[in-house]
Amino acid sequence: MTLAPESRRTLPLVEVGPGLRHGSRSYATCHFRCANACDHPEPNTSENNHIRDEVGHALKRRTLFTGAAGLGAVVATGLALDPRAAAAAESAPTVARGGAARVAGTDDLAKVEFKPVAPNKRDAVVVADGFDHDVVMRWGDPVLADAPEFDVYQQTPEAAAKQFGYNNDYVGVLPLGKSATEALLVCNHEYTNENMMYPTGKYTSAQIKQLSMAYHGMSVVQITRGLVPGSWAQSSDLSKAVYNRRITATTPFQLTGPAVGDERLKTKQDKFGAIVKGTFANCAGGLTPWGTVLSGEENFNGYFDKSGSLDSRYTAQYARYGITGSGSRGWSEIDSRFDLSIEPHEVHRFGWIVEVDPLKPNEAPKKHTMLGRFKHEGANVVIAKDKRVVVYMGDDERGDYMYKFVSAGTFDPANTAKARAKNKLLLDKGTLYVAKFTGNGTADSKYDGTGQWIPLTSDTQSFVDGMSVNDVLIFTRLAADKVGPTKMDRPEDVDINPVNGKVYAALTNNSNRGNATTPVDEANPLSTSMVRSALGQPLTSASGNRNGYILELTADGDDHTATTFGWDLMLVCGDPSAPETYFAGFDKSKVSPISCPDNVAFDSLGNLWIATDGNVLGSNDGLFRVAVEGANRGQVQQFVTMPKNAETCGPFITDNNRSLFFAVQHPGESDTATFETPTSTWPHSDDFPRPAVCVAFRKR
């Protein structure tokens, strides 16, 4: 496309804001990723958390704890069917549950003794001594066989839709066939940063929007085992990589579940409310036991603008989802479905969990209405004792909630196409719940207590007064507000440990915690925390929960379908010298500083791996291993640090713990960064940064 010079844009698109903000994020990250969510009041204005908790406002500051939680029972039932747990069953000795003895020199990431990587500000991926890493896929690398080689000066939407998208987030790896040499890498491409992707003056405004829509979405990429054990690379012959796939902001999705056909999901282009074009703002995700991938549509609200007024029928609903019509991407310029004044329902068709079957490259991916609509971080599935499946999910907004879904049907473990097809329907029927946490007081020197999963709706019956099944599913946040759940500090990944069966939630931060609308409670106890402006600078106090928590949930009776659970604040993150920090009772002189946990994963021995986003301790973000059982419980050790201004995403451990995949998202994203003036050039293959997926493995 050729347009007149006057229609070409000038940089920067983003007005540079007032320096560092929430976490260590740049204004640019806030702008492009979450539509400056933190500049707006919390959309949750409900009275929940004004609190019937025994501790309540007395909890201003954490005391130091010495006790460690007891060991949980091992939940084995059904887990061997989970791809991750299958790996666990293969190699887990009975005594090692995330607390295995450390071994020097081994290539087993679950056991290896390593010297933690020191906090740093390098423009590099730094892995622990004795380990190496390779870049597997970069923004622009060809995915489909007919994709051209990436040329940053000759980008076209057609090529972009065949190349690896921008800002990789979730990472999942599925074995392919029986050869054990091939696998499928599945990634999310959460958002784009137009300031950094396009040479100034090279592309028109319309071209930029078409390009960015194509760089969003997801990728499926065949990878092949490398010569060094644990290493992987893209399979070289793309003509044979028949599962390779790009999903973009225009790929057709099938809506499934009870809300299909609801009036509020119908648009001019889709009179049946059944087919949605595209997915975007996909953050984290999870593998299902039937070999598909779930992915969360998160900050979708920022993609919609308005040419006139907002539809008054949806004033409360839009407000609760942060939908203001001030979306800055301007996609409505090329597609009117992003104009709320023209198409008030299109925005209701985002904010879902999507499911992609990597083995069916021609099958339309799904959007599951039964899993509710909110700012979905991700979704992780476990098979319960009775073979129903349970999905744990977080709504990543300050002061929002944690959810779970329990299926009506049961998982069929048969390795047949028929069983797989049946399993793929499990997320269409069942019950959606929201979590309420009750503290038991701090006399026990622990932030812990019990919890309830409050039912919101089944596929046939709503449990919320005045709301139908579809009301609950399409406007889940408003439904949850009515039943008294606990406001949390931005629930991100919520994942199930395949070895001990407990559930681990990353609560990344909340600068508002402790104010009038979001008071502290025992599950969210910090109203101040210690931060550092730069490495070498002293810690200073800041309001709210700035460094985040890891919360550990134990389903009652180790039954994930139970409506009650126990909980324990396992980690209060931060610099270990800060008094409020807590590492499950582990010696604080022997842990790495950690700030803003976001994505979590497990190795086959049940160690927890934590990726961070927005470190406020003066260092780059990183990836940490944490034992959750035994003498090492709470030992946080940094294994990888990120390049400048990058966030760590998607950790995924596979191949008998020899391969650690992770995504480097938004390297070099700063308020001053443009294509011509980058603040990072990682991975240093070009003179501009390229978000990429890496794999770390033992050096040979």
Name the site residues for ligand FEO (rule: CB under 6 A): 190, 283, 298, 377, 396, 492, 598
For Ca ion, which residue of 448, 459, 552, 655 counts as binding (CB under 5 A)? 448
Site track 590-619 with Ca ion (rule: CB under 5 A), x = hit: --------x---------------------
DSSP 271-304: TTS-EEE---SEEEEEE-TTS-EEEEE-SGGGG-
d(CA 370, CA 260): 10
Q: Six-digit token pair at 410?
A: 């049961």
Residue placing its CB nearer to Ca ion in the complex, 82 or 298: 298
One residue of 120, 440, 515, 656 binding Ca ion per CB under 5 A: 440
Residue 400 as a binder of Ca ion (CB under 5 A): the answer is no
570 binds, among ligand FEO, Ca ion, none (CB under 5 to 8 A by kind): none
> At closest approach, how far in Å is the CB of 216 from ligand FEO?
13
Nearest to Ca ion of 179, 445 (CB atom): 445
Tell me how far, at minimum, the Cβ of 689 lies from Ca ion, in Å: 19
Q: Does 450 bind Ca ion (CB under 5 A)?
A: no
Which helix or strand (DSSP H or E) is residue 494 part of? strand 491-496
CB-based contacts of 104, cutoff 8 Å, min separation 6: 112, 113
For the segment 280-299, give every residue that binds Ca ion (CB under 5 A). Answer: 283
User: Residue 480, interface with Ca ion (CB under 5 A)?
Assistant: no
- In this structure, are residues 136 and 692 in contact, taking their beta carbons and an 8 Å threshold? yes
Closer CB to ligand FEO, residue 459 or residue 492?
Answer: 492
Write phi, then psi, for 258 (nearest 5 degrees): -60, -30
Q: Closest CB to Ca ion among 321 and 463?
A: 321
Please tell me the distance from the alpha carbon of residue 545 to that of residue 566, in angstroms, as a whole number: 22
Q: Which does 298 bind (CB under 5 to 8 A by kind): ligand FEO, Ca ion, none?
A: ligand FEO
Return the structure tokens found at 496: 């199930």
Specify whether the backbone of 668 is left (phi greater than 0), alpha (psi in -120 to 50) or beta.
Answer: left
* Residue 14 contact partner, candidates Ca ion, ligand FEO, none, CB within 5 to 8 A by sort of partner: none
Segment contacting Ca ion (CB under 5 A): 143-151, 278-286, 359-367, 453-461? 278-286
Name the segment binding Ca ion (CB under 5 A); options: 129-137, 344-352, 439-447, 672-680. Answer: 439-447
Phi, psi of 623 (to 5 degrees): -130, 135
* Beta carbon nearer to ligand FEO, 214 or 649: 649
Whether the Cβ atoms of residue 378 and residue 494 lie closer than 8 Å to each other: yes
SS3 content of the chain, % helix, strand, coil (to 5): 15, 30, 55
**Residue 159 vs 283, nearer CB to Ca ion:** 283
* CB nearer Ca ion, residue 378 or residue 668: 378
CB of 188 to ligand FEO, least distance (A): 9
C-alpha distances in Å from residue 316, one per residue of 45, 307, 322, 324 = 11, 20, 10, 11
Question: Whose Cβ is closer to Ca ion: residue 444's or residue 687's?
Answer: 444
Q: Within 10 Å of residue 117's Cβ, how many Cβ atoms? A: 22
At a CB cut-off of 8 Å and minimum separation 6, what does 241 contact? 145, 221, 222, 235
Q: Residue count at the site for Ca ion (CB under 5 A)?
A: 7
* Residues of the shown chain interacting with Ca ion in the complex, contacts defined by CB under 5 A: 283, 440, 444, 446, 448, 492, 598
